[in-house]
Structure 1
Amino acid sequence: MQDISAIIAGCKNWNRSSQEALYRQFFGYAMAICLRYANNKEEAIEILNDGFLKIFHHIDSYDTSRPFKSWLSKIMANTAIDHLRSRKKIVFTEDITQVYELGMPDEYAISKLTCEEILQLVQHLPPAYRTVFNLYVLEGFQHQEISNMLGISEGTSKSNLFKAKRILKEKIEAITSMNISGPGSIGAAQPS
């Protein structure tokens, strides 16, 4: 594995082998981010490739004093949001001023699912819920930041997060209760 600073320097000079090295080194990490926003693998690959194009075009703006993965992560998340916006897949629900915190399923229920099954459940959320859930829970943005990124109110961000958590909780509980009480494996249960 090449030194990241040498790869970045090569990318700044539009060196194709450096661009390929960067793509290969961060493909898995970037793909995991894109899959959280996409409906399927093909859409995630499209987002990923658009994101890497943005990285190559804007690599001069990367601040080398900060972690590269954080910069890449932000570009991939923003590219996914742009992708969903361009396809008019994001429709946010109404703004609510008070959202009560919804507990997630217990750790036992979640531990019965594989990472792939949890990812599938997240992918089956409506795009607006999925986007806010990813930005808040997985990327660590606050509601004010999310509202600025998506052009929505903080209340709408909170509402969409609440609804995403509620849907995930119901689906996880349904899947794990089917596996406890019925035949078959967790993999046999399909999220709706």
Structure 2
Amino acid sequence: MPGYNSAVLQELLDGCLRKNRRSQELLYKQFYGYAMSICLRYTKSREEGKEILNDGFLKVFTKLETYDPERPFKTWLSRIMINTALDHYRQELRRDVFDNVEAGENVSVDETVISKLSHEELISLIQKLTPAYRIVFSLYVIDGYTHEEIADQLNISLGASKSNLSRAREKLREMLSKINIDNYDRVAR
């Protein structure tokens, strides 16, 4: 964490444990960008991301006594934000239909095109995916969950997880192709 050493962080966390509003505000501000970047990967809009972020920080402040200071705070915070996003997803989209195909074709996304995109552009593309595709893609590709863990977290089959990932990659590839065509058209004019 830039600008904060472990002693300063521990002092902030101690203040939060004492329900000190100023400590809570400082912790929120210090980790806002990091936590928001996690939340945006799981939502379709910045507003929804903020809602999840605020719910996540509420959990941070109410469950801070469970944090183990021997482990990195960012890892713990990340886990809370991801779980909050998944909780939000389950509440809002309980009836969303998951494709239950036993195995999707393995579609890769052109890495050279992705490397030219800014972080914001990539997040924007991910946000355009359907909720089922967005959640599985983010969990698997960005946060490193296995298909077994995803299936368990979302209460879907292993095949549905694999299929949703495959279809998310295909949709991203289609969006990236469109970006390339649009950029080519602009340059060609």
TM-score (norm 1): 0.88
Aligned pairs for 1:73-88 within 5 A = 73-88=78-93
Per the TM alignment, residue 118 of structure 1 is displaced from its structure 2 partner at its CA by 1.4
Aligned pairs for 1:88-127 within 5 A = 88=93, 91-107=96-112, 109-127=113-131
Q: Structure 2 unaligned runs (5+)? A: none
Distance 1:137 1:64, change over 3 A: same
- Residue aligned with 1:155, SS: helix
- How far apart are the structure 2 equivalents of 1:90 and 1:26? 33
- Residue aligned with 2:169, SS: helix
Per the TM alignment, residue 171 of structure 1 is displaced from its structure 2 partner at its CA by 0.7
Structure 2 residue aligned with 1:68: 73
Q: Which amino acid aligns with 1:77?
A: I
Judge conservation of contact 1:92–1:129 (CA < 8 Å) in 2.
no
Per the TM alignment, residue 89 of structure 1 is displaced from its structure 2 partner at its CA by 6.5
Structure 1 residue aligned with 2:164: 160
- Residue aligned with 1:146, SS: helix
TM-score (norm 2): 0.89
Distance 1:41 1:89, change over 3 A: farther
- How far apart are the structure 1 equivalents of 2:111 and 2:68? 40
Judge conservation of contact 2:39–2:85 (CA < 8 Å) in 1.
yes
Per the TM alignment, residue 25 of structure 1 is displaced from its structure 2 partner at its CA by 0.8
Q: Percent identity?
A: 47
Q: Does 1:42 align with 2:38?
A: no
Per the TM alignment, residue 168 of structure 1 is displaced from its structure 2 partner at its CA by 0.2
Q: Structure 1 unaligned runs (5+)? A: 185-192
2:18 to 8, 13, 16: 13
Of 29-38 and 1-10, more deviation after overlay is shown by 1-10
Which structure 1 residue ranges, 4+ long, deviate > 6 Å from structure 2?
none
